[in-house]
Amino acid sequence: MNYLSALAFKKIKILFLIPFFVSCMQGESSLYDFAMGTAFSITLYKHGQYKVLDEIFTNIKTIENLMSVNIPSSDVSRINAAAGIEAVHVNEKTFKVIERAIYFAYLSGGAFDPSIGALTSLWGIGNDNRNDSRNDYHRIPLQDDIDKILSLVNWRNIVLDSENNTVFLTQEGMALDLGAITKGYTVDRTVDIIRNAGIKRAKIDIGGEIYMLGEKTDKTPWRVGIQDPKGVHGGIIGFIQTGETSVVTSGIYERFFEKDGIHYHHILNPFNGYPADNELLSVTLTASSAMDADALSTAIFVLGYENAGFLFETQPGIAAIFVFKDLNIKMSGDIDFTLTNKAFNSAMQE
Ligand code: ADP
Ligand code: MG
């Protein structure tokens, strides 16, 4: 199905607007593809929306080309190459994302830190180009290297000039990595495109970052499955029922390797340089902005359950499902979660 639709979309791009098969007949228009190192799928609940899908596709690629650390000509790569040397002029989209990322770095006391690039390259876990032979994905860095690199991780050393849209990293070797916020940003911009096109209902999934737009035809709530952080991909612990919202998860299962029985994953603790290690397996947030939820879910995952409480006070619209290593589940805020996986225990709403 994915493959066929991807094929269908490519055909459309080549042959100019040949109707989708399969999904068109069901009153839907869908797009499946791959970008930012992850699969994405967009379903518009209206038939024949090829132009909108084309605009969405082009926009996703534009964002990737601006913000990926794996594309040498991207804004982020150019900023990193000029670290300690000079300020770099960037596209206003990139500038806005970095500005928002710095806000969340400030808000989370540095638990979320977009200047974590040198550390993510050292570990090589979160890199979206796994075929890159320069990276050994099963290597634990030397403590000395971690210590050296940690001095290059500090969001306060990102200098923004909003009049000229320039970004300067003050230290040589310092690097941005916007991997914890760009997918959410992309989801939000996709929502904008869909709304502007006058489409009322849609489901967006960019690498597991979801946005349910509008309401179902029969007015029943959307159901969104919550990934089982210990299970196979696609396995769920339960589902939430919700109106329009984004649903974003940060967890230990997305990208990782195991060595000597230890699970090393891609969300790094900027304070000690190691994968965040606390009582959590995953945290799922619902929020009106997927970008905010993306940055916050990473921050909360780094901080852990007890220490992240203050973030909820500053962000009233946000609700969360925490999945713990002891298989307990806790909720925070207004969220309608139904547990279906008997291996887990759901505690009372906080
Ligand atoms: P996912 O990519 O699975 O959705 P996240 O949104 O939590 O998960 O983003 C993780 C990515 O963000 C990593 O792959 C890495 O590029 C980057 N990253 C890792 N740790 C941090 C951190 N503490 N602050 C900001 N970015 C981080
Ligand atoms: Mg994130």
pLDDT for 24 equals: 54
Among 185, 266, 296, residue to substitute to test ligand 1 (most atoms within 8 Å of Cβ): 266
Contact of 33 with 6, CB cutoff 8 Å: yes
**pLDDT value of residue 190:** 98
The Å distance, Cα 74 to ligand 1 centre, comes to 18
What was the pLDDT predicted at 109? 97
Q: Give nearest CA residue, ligand 1 atom 5.
A: 180
Per-residue pLDDT at 81: 98
Top-confidence residue, 41 or 264 = 41
Per residue in 291-306, pLDDT (tens digit) is 999 999 999 999 999 9
| Atom of ligand 1 at shortest range from CA of 207 | 4
3 state SS of 122: helix
Average pLDDT over residues 75-96: 98
Structure tokens belonging to residue 114: 């977009």
Q: What is the pTM of this model?
A: 0.90
Q: What is the mean pLDDT of the chain?
A: 88
The predicted model gives 91-115 an average pLDDT of 98
- β-bridge pairing 328-332 and 319-324: antiparallel
On the question of pLDDT at 202 being above 60, the answer is yes
Looking at residue 255, its pLDDT comes to: 73
Q: Where in the chain is the domain with CATH 1.10.3980.10?
A: 75-169
Question: What confidence category does residue 125 fall into, taking pLDDT thresholds of 50, 70 and 90?
Answer: low
50 pLDDT more than 80: yes
| pLDDT of res. 256 | 74
Region 193-221 average pLDDT: 95
Residue pair 223/239 in contact (Cβ under 8 Å)? The answer is yes
The CATH number for 1-69+179-207, chosen from 3.50.50.60, 3.40.50.620, 3.40.1190.20, 3.10.520.10, is 3.10.520.10
The secondary element (H helix, E strand) that includes residue 10 is helix 2-15
The pLDDT value recorded for residue 21 is 35
**Which residue minimizes the CA distance to atom 12 of ligand 1?**
180
Ligand 1 is surrounded, with C-beta below 6 A, by: 112-114, 116, 120, 126, 177, 179-180, 183, 207, 250, 254, 266-268, 270, 294, 297-298, 302
How would residue 5 be classed by pLDDT, with cut points 50, 70 and 90? very low
On whether the CB atoms of residues 189 and 211 are closer than 8 A, the answer is no
Average pLDDT on 195-202 reads 97
pLDDT of residue 185: 98
242 or 5: which carries more pLDDT confidence?
Answer: 242
Q: Label each residue of 49-93 as H, E or C.
A: CHHHHHHHHHHHHHHHHHHCCCCCCCHHHHHHHCCCCCCEECCHH
- Residue 129, pLDDT above cutoff 70: no
Tell the CATH topology of 221-350: T-fold (3.10.520)
Tell me how far apart the alpha carbons of residues 60 and 180 are, in angstroms, rounded to a whole number.
Answer: 16
Best mutation site among 181, 206, 267, 280 for ligand 1, i.e. most ligand atoms within 8 A of its Cβ? 267
Distance 6 CA to ligand 1 centre (A): 27
Tens of pLDDT, residues 7-36: 444 444 433 333 333 355 478 999 999 998
Atom of ligand 1 nearest to the CA of 117: 16
Q: Which pLDDT tens digit goes with each residue over 131-163?
A: 444 445 567 899 999 999 999 999 999 999 999
Q: Where do you find CATH 3.10.520.10 in the chain?
A: 1-69+179-207, 221-350
State which CATH number among 2.60.120.260, 3.40.190.10, 3.40.50.2300, 1.10.3980.10 fits the domain covering 75-169.
Answer: 1.10.3980.10
Residue 248 Cα: closest atom of ligand 1: 4
Rounded distance between C-alpha atoms, residue 212 and residue 143, angstroms:
43
DSSP assigned state of 336: E
* Residue 259: pLDDT band with limits 50, 70, 90: confident
